[in-house]
């Protein structure tokens, strides 16, 4: 079988929080595969580590004493590289009882080595679109000029006029009206939805192997949101681009993803084909996924403007990670038979059906581990 385009193995990304005077285990042992041509959707509540997972893959975790370990294999254009290769020699982490006590890091050495690993990867092999498109566009340059620069830098089209034609082509592909006129617009003259379309054009114009879309519809108003989701769905069909899609909105994930990873407290708690994980009568489902699904407002609750069924309890503070299941404090499915395991031992991510994995002691496969 074809190797996955992106294979993340046991990724850990820790930050030092000055306010809390402690290390936060933002991503704490995440393993994920994204197959060529598929869209993997990562869903989870705020703070579950979705963005930090994506930023780690794009080599964008540079904040202060942030430290990353694990493997991020990218197989593209006939080459295989580990985007974290050799970084471990620049940092040493001391842990005790589930708490990170100290990190010794050669920040300059780390940054230099990381930049060398990411050369030719970020912006080219891996392109990203974010929540706030306006801030990602250069306010002093027209949309057209920014596109032309990206195309000349990252593709084989080096001439001004051919790059210009390709830029107009991408503005058309993202359904921007009057693309030849829009070419000369500055970002400030454009709406939020239009800026997001321009950013998508910019990302795709580099002809990347992987597109990372982190909350691409969040912050836009509801009608624009659904138009951007429609656009992403159309582009997925037309270009077949491999995508890592991140959203706290399970309905966006449901619409666009082939497979899903549900994150909680810095770990993946469930993963599988979207249709299977989200099937109303799923045989096995992590209690957290069930709670996320229950929090989707139904047409009826929207009509009656009644409250969302929020998930009870607080999102896990990943400074002191509990010994047992990370969801234990909020879980309503604990039975007497498994209580001791839930409280004392982190469940493994185990296969409950082919290609469908759940991290929960409720399922017999986990019990065998
Ligand atoms: N640069 C940083 N320095 C310190 N802590 C950070 C940094 N970036 C993220 N964190 C912390 O890491 C945890 C995971 O953050 P992350 O941004 O990945 O969450 P998320 O799942 O993307 O949430 P959201 O849905 O709000 O975007 C949070 O507790 C966050 O406060
Ligand atoms: S392992 Fe236990 S606490 Fe964790 S989700 Fe499953 S039932 Fe709930
Ligand atoms: Mg985020």
pLDDT in tens, 317-337: 777 778 899 999 999 999 999
Cα(330) to centroid(ligand 2), Å: 9
Share of the chain above pLDDT 70, in %: 91
Cα(50) to centroid(ligand 3), Å: 6
pLDDT at position 77: 81
Nearest CA to ligand 1 atom 29: 47
Q: Which residue has the tokens 């395991």?
A: 341
Residue 272 inside a domain? The answer is yes
pLDDT digits (tens, 9 = 90+) for 219-241: 888 889 999 999 999 999 999 99
Q: How many domains does the chain have?
A: 1
pLDDT at position 368: 52
pLDDT digits (tens, 9 = 90+) for 189-217: 888 899 999 999 999 999 999 999 999 99
User: Residue 361 CA: which ligand 2 atom is closest?
Assistant: 1
Nearest CA to ligand 2 atom 1: 360
Tokens of 107: 């920040």
pTM for the whole thing?
A: 0.92
pLDDT at position 37: 95
Cα(140) to centroid(ligand 1), Å: 30
Cα(287) to centroid(ligand 1), Å: 23
pLDDT at position 269: 97
Ligand 1 pocket, CB under 6 A: 15, 17, 24, 26, 44, 46-52, 63, 248
pLDDT at position 208: 94
Q: Which residue has the higher pLDDT, 316 or 308?
A: 316
What is the residue-averaged pLDDT of the chain? 88
User: What integer is the mean pLDDT of 25-41?
Assistant: 95
Ligand 2 near 265 CB (within 6 A):
no
Residue 246, strand partner residues: 42, 214
Residue 165 inside a domain? The answer is no
Read off the CATH number of the domain in which 338 is found.
Answer: 3.40.50.300
User: How many Å apart are CA 154 and CA 41, to the nearest integer?
Assistant: 26
User: What integer is the mean pLDDT of 33-48?
Assistant: 94
Q: Which of 26-40, 89-103, 176-190 has the lowest mean pLDDT?
A: 89-103
Nearest CA to ligand 2 atom 2: 342
Residue 105 inside a domain? The answer is yes
Ligand 2 near 363 CB (within 6 A):
no
What is the SS3 assignment for 26? Answer: strand
Residue 245 has pLDDT above 80, yes or no: yes
Residue 162 inside a domain? The answer is no
pLDDT at position 305: 46
pLDDT at position 102: 80
Residue 43 inside a domain? The answer is yes
Q: Which of 21-30, 86-95, 106-115, 359-368 has the lowest mean pLDDT?
A: 359-368
User: How many Å apart are CA 78 and CA 54, to the nearest integer?
Assistant: 23
User: What integer is the mean pLDDT of 108-129?
Assistant: 90
User: Residue 263 CA: which ligand 1 atom is closest?
Assistant: 21
pLDDT at position 51: 94
- CA nearest to 266, candidates 46, 21, 107: 46
pLDDT at position 12: 92
User: What integer is the mean pLDDT of 119-144?
Assistant: 90
Cα(42) to centroid(ligand 3), Å: 10
- Per DSSP (E only), the strands in the chain are 6-17, 22-34, 39-43, 67-76, 79-82, 91-96, 99-105, 126-129, 210-214, 242-247, 259-264, 267-273, 350-353, 356-358
Test site for ligand 2: of 263, 268, 342, most ligand atoms within 8 A of the Cβ: 342
Give the pLDDT band of residue 365 (cuts 50, 70, 90): low
Q: Which domain holds residue 279?
A: 6-125+208-368
pLDDT digits (tens, 9 = 90+) for 263-307: 999 999 999 999 999 988 888 899 999 998 887 766 555 455 444
Give the pLDDT band of residue 105 (cuts 50, 70, 90): confident
Residue 355 has pLDDT above 50, yes or no: yes
Query: What's the CA angle centered on 312, arms 309 and 318, to 5 degrees?
Result: 130
Test site for ligand 2: of 333, 348, 352, 369, most ligand atoms within 8 A of the Cβ: 333
Nearest CA to ligand 1 atom 24: 46
Q: Which residue has the higher pLDDT, 75 or 96?
A: 75
Nearest CA to ligand 1 atom 31: 47
User: What integer is the mean pLDDT of 58-80?
Assistant: 82
| Ligand closest to CA 46 | 1
Check if the beta carbon of residue 133 is closer than 8 Å to that of residue 196: yes
Residue 33 inside a domain? The answer is yes
Residue 352 has pLDDT above 50, yes or no: yes
pLDDT at position 308: 41
pLDDT at position 132: 83
Residue 58 inside a domain? The answer is yes
User: How many Å apart are CA 41 and CA 226, to the nearest integer?
Assistant: 17
Check if the beta carbon of residue 334 is closer than 8 Å to that of residue 362: no
Residue 151 inside a domain? The answer is no
User: What integer is the mean pLDDT of 242-252?
Assistant: 92
pLDDT at position 250: 87
User: Residue 53 CA: which ligand 1 atom is closest?
Assistant: 18
Check if the beta carbon of residue 37 is closer than 8 Å to that of residue 240: yes
Check if the beta carbon of residue 139 is closer than 8 Å to that of residue 187: yes
């Amino acid at each position: 079988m074809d190797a996955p385009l992106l294979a993340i193995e046991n990724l850990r990304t820790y930050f030092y929080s000055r306010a809390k005077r402690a290390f936060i285990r933002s991503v704490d042992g995440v393993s994920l595969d994204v197959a060529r041509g598929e869209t993997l959707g990562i869903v989870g509540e705020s703070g579950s580590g979705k963005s930090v997972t994506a930023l780690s893959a794009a080599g964008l975790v540079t904040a202060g004493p942030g430290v990353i370990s694990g493997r991020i294999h990218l197989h593209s254009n006939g080459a295989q590289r580990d985007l974290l290769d050799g970084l471990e020699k620049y940092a040493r982490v001391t842990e005790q009882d589930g708490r990170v006590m100290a990190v010794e890091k050669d920040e300059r050495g780390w940054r230099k080595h990381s930049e060398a690993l990411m050369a030719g990867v970020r912006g080219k092999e891996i392109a990203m679109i974010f929540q706030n498109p306006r801030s990602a566009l250069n306010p002093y340059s027209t949309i057209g000029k920014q596109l032309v620069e990206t195309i000349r830098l990252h593709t084989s089209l080096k001439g001004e006029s051919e790059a210009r034609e390709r830029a107009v082509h991408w503005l058309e592909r993202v359904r921007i009206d009057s693309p030849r006129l829009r070419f000369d617009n500055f970002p400030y003259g454009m709406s939020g939805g239009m800026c997001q379309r321009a950013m998508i054009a910019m990302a795709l114009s580099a002809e990347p192997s992987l597109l990372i879309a982190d909350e691409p519809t969040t912050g836009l108003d509801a009608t624009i949101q659904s138009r951007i989701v429609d656009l992403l769905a159309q582009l997925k069909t037309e270009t077949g681009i491999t995508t890592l899609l991140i959203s706290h909105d399970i309905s966006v994930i449901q619409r666009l993803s082939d497979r899903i990873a549900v994150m909680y407290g810095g770990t993946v708690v469930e993963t599988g084909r979207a249709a299977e994980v989200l099937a109303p009568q799923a045989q096995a489902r992590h209690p957290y996924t069930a709670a996320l699904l229950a929090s989707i407002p139904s047409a009826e609750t929207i009509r009656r403007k009644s409250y969302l069924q929020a998930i009870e309890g607080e999102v896990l503070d990943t400074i002191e990670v509990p010994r047992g299941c990370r969801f234990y404090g909020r879980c309503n499915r604990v039975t007497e038979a498994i209580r001791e395991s839930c409280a004392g031992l982190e469940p493994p991510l185990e296969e409950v059906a082919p290609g469908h994995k759940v991290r929960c002691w409720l399922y017999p496969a986990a019990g065998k581990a």
